[in-house]
Amino acid sequence: MAGALAEIYELLCHDLCEPGGVRLGLVTSDHLLALANEALLEMLREGGIIRAIYTQQIEHGVAGYAVPDGFMRVDEAYAGGLFLDFTQASDLDSNSSQWRVVLDRPRNWSQDQGTTAEIRLAPAPNYNGLPFDPQWGDWAVTISGSVVGPGTHRGLTMVGMKKPTLITSWSDPIPLLPEEIALAYLGFGILERVFRSDNEMRDDQKALYCRAQFNEGIALLQSIMGEPEE
C-alpha cells in the first residue's frame, strides 16, 4: 500500500493508538474508509475548488435538462454563452404563473427543491440549438471536427462541482482533491467523525479539535475560490 491515502491511514492509525493498522475492533478499516468518503465529499462540496464545464444541445420547448452524473452540484448555467440568473422555482411561480408555458430566450434557471438531477430553464427556449453530442470542458464544442462557439451553437452550458468516485481501498488514488490538500486536512475530517460517534471512541474535545482543523481546510478552499483582487 502506497500513496497519499495510505499515508493518511497510517497517521490515523497512530492517532488511534493502533500503529500499523486498526485491529482492536473499536473501529474498522472499512468504517474509516466510509468516513473518508464522507469527509472527502464534504470538503469538495464546501470548498468548491474542483469544477467542471458541460455543454449540451438546447431544444425548442424543452425546459428541463438532465444534470450529468459527473456533477455533484450545478452552480452556474449559460444559454448560448449568456449567463442565466439562478431563481428559485417558487419565485418564478410568484412572478409569473406563465413561465412554465411561455417560450422565449431563457433568462433564468432553477432547480426543484431536493433534486439535483435536472435544471429547468425559464422561459423554455423558443429555438433549437445546433445538434451535437454533450461535451465536457468548454462552452465551445466540437461539431464535425470544427470548434463552434456558444454564440453559434446556442447550447446550454452548466458549470458546477465535480462528483468524486467512491474510495474503496486505502491504496486508491484520492479522487479529485489534490493530494497536498488531502494530506493536510482530510484526516481531521475522518477523525472528527470517529470521535463524535456514539460509541466508546466518543471524545467531544478531540472531535472539536479535529473539526476546527478540518474547518480550517474548508475555509482555506473557500478563500482560494473567493479571494478578492488586491
Partner 1 sequence: MPVVTLADLRTRVLAGLDSNTALYPTRNIDLVINQGLRRINLLVGLTQVTVPVPGFSRAAQQVYSTPSPILIPLQVYNEGKRMEKVTMPQLAQAYRRWFRDSGPPRRWAPIGITQWVSHPADSTGGRFLEMAGVSTIAPLTQSDSVISMPDQFVDLLVDYARSRVMLKLPGAPFAGASLAYQAMIRALKSLSIWSGMKWPQYWLLKQTDPGGAKGV
Residues that bind partner 1 (CB under 8 A): 7, 10-11, 14-17, 19, 48-53, 76, 78, 81-83, 137-140, 147, 149-151, 159, 178-181, 183-185, 187, 191, 204-206, 208-213, 215-216, 219-220, 222-229
Q: Which is nearer to partner 1, 92 or 194 (CB)?
A: 194
Closest separation between CB of residue 150 and partner 1, Å? 5
- Calculate ∠ Cα 22-25-28, nearest 5°: 55
Closest separation between CB of residue 101 and partner 1, Å? 27
Residues present in the chain in total: 230
Closest separation between CB of residue 28 and partner 1, Å? 19
d(CA 124, CA 101): 7
Closest separation between CB of residue 102 and partner 1, Å? 22
Bridge partners for 86 per DSSP = 109
> Which amino acid is residue 226, in one-letter code?
G
Q: Which is nearer to partner 1, 118 or 216 (CB)?
A: 216
What's phi and psi for 35, nearest 5 deg?
-70, -35
Q: Which is nearer to partner 1, 69 or 227 (CB)?
A: 227
Q: Which is nearer to partner 1, 18 or 91 (CB)?
A: 18
Q: Which is nearer to partner 1, 101 or 105 (CB)?
A: 105
What's phi and psi for 30, nearest 5 deg?
-65, -40
Q: CB-based contacts of 15: which residues, under 8 Å, 6+ apart?
A: 187, 191
Residue 15: is it exposed, middle or buried by C-beta count within 10 angstroms (0-12/13-18/19+)? middle
d(CA 120, CA 55): 15
Contact 72, 35 (CB under 8 A): no
Closest separation between CB of residue 97 and partner 1, Å? 27
Closest separation between CB of residue 58 and partner 1, Å? 15
Q: CB-based contacts of 119: which residues, under 8 Å, 6+ apart?
A: 64, 65, 67, 74, 77, 109, 110, 111, 158
Q: Which is nearer to partner 1, 93 or 104 (CB)?
A: 104
